[in-house]
Amino acid sequence: MKNFLYKLIINSVTDYCYENCLEYVRDHASILDVGIGNGVMMNHYHEFIKDKRLHITGIDINRNYLRHCASKIQEYHLKDYVIIHCQAVETFEPPERVLYDYIFFTMSFMLFQDQGGVLERARRWLKPEGEILFFQTLFKEKVPAIEFIKPKLKYVTTIDFGKVTYENEFLSLLNAKNLKIKKDRLIKREWFKGEYRMTVAAFS
């Protein structure tokens, strides 16, 4: 049931997200996907992952989603391309001091209480020229209705949508952590003037 709700609500966002993020990264890249979820993106992008020879490490804290993700890895023969760990980003440590070309926050960054602390950890995991890709819904103006509704959706859907992310606050956080924006792409406009955005940033 949880995976059914996940698919119903998240699938279209997931397609926008991975279509843009996976297209952006270079061939043979090593990627840390923070909040990989149930792996539904592999339905559409398993051949893409193989063709680009990507190496993806996915972490998530939801064991039900990861079990489904593991089944997708097996179904599409991706064990040489995707590995997963049930671990929170706040406690994760890359195996054997692995460094990544890219870190994905695919609709997961708004879930973290200490976003600044997460970015400090991410800094240690990136190669010198590494980049962070954020895919999220950003709002330019205050939307009290969304602020009220969004935290409560997890009680109805079982999915935690996190807090509302405002553009000015997000950009201020990146600036405070010495992250320079390299690309900021509008993907789609949503309700209440929300925008699906892919933001690529690197530490300066």
Report pLDDT digits (tens) over 24-48. 999 999 999 999 999 999 999 999 9
- List of E strands, the chain: 30-34, 55-60, 82-86, 100-106, 126-139, 179-189, 194-203
Whole-number pLDDT of residue 155: 40
Global pTM reads: 0.86
Q: Is residue 163 pLDDT above 90, yes or no? A: no
Find the mean pLDDT for residues 85-90. 97
pLDDT of residue 189: 83
pLDDT tens digits for range 94-140 = 988 889 999 999 999 999 999 999 999 999 999 999 999 999 999 98
Percent of the chain at pLDDT above 90?
A: 74
Q: Which of the four pLDDT bands, split at 50, 70 and 90, describes residue 156?
A: very low
β strands within 27-178, DSSP E: 30-34, 55-60, 82-86, 100-106, 126-139
Instruction: Compute the distance between CA of residue 129 and CA of residue 183 in angstroms, rounded to an integer.
Output: 15
Residue with the two structure tokens 């966002």:
13
**What single-letter amino acid sits at 81?**
Y
Q: In the predicted model, is pLDDT for residue 158 greater than 70?
A: no
What residue spans define the domains of the chain? Answer: 2-142+163-180
How many CA atoms lie less than 13 Å away from 65 in the CB half-sphere?
23
Average pLDDT of every residue of the chain: 87
Measured between alpha carbons, how far is 134 from 155 in angstroms, rounded to an integer?
26
Query: How far are the Cα atoms of 34, 38, 124, 148, 170 from residue 145, in angstroms, in the given order?
Result: 28, 29, 37, 5, 20
Q: Which amino acid type is present at position 127?
A: K
Segment 133-156 shows an average pLDDT of: 65
- Mean pLDDT, to the nearest integer, of 178-185? 97
Name the superfamily (CATH) of residues 2-142+163-180: Vaccinia Virus protein VP39 (3.40.50.150)
Report the candidate in 6, 5, 45, 10 with the shortest Cα–Cα distance to residue 135. Answer: 10
Q: Note the pLDDT of residue 50.
A: 98
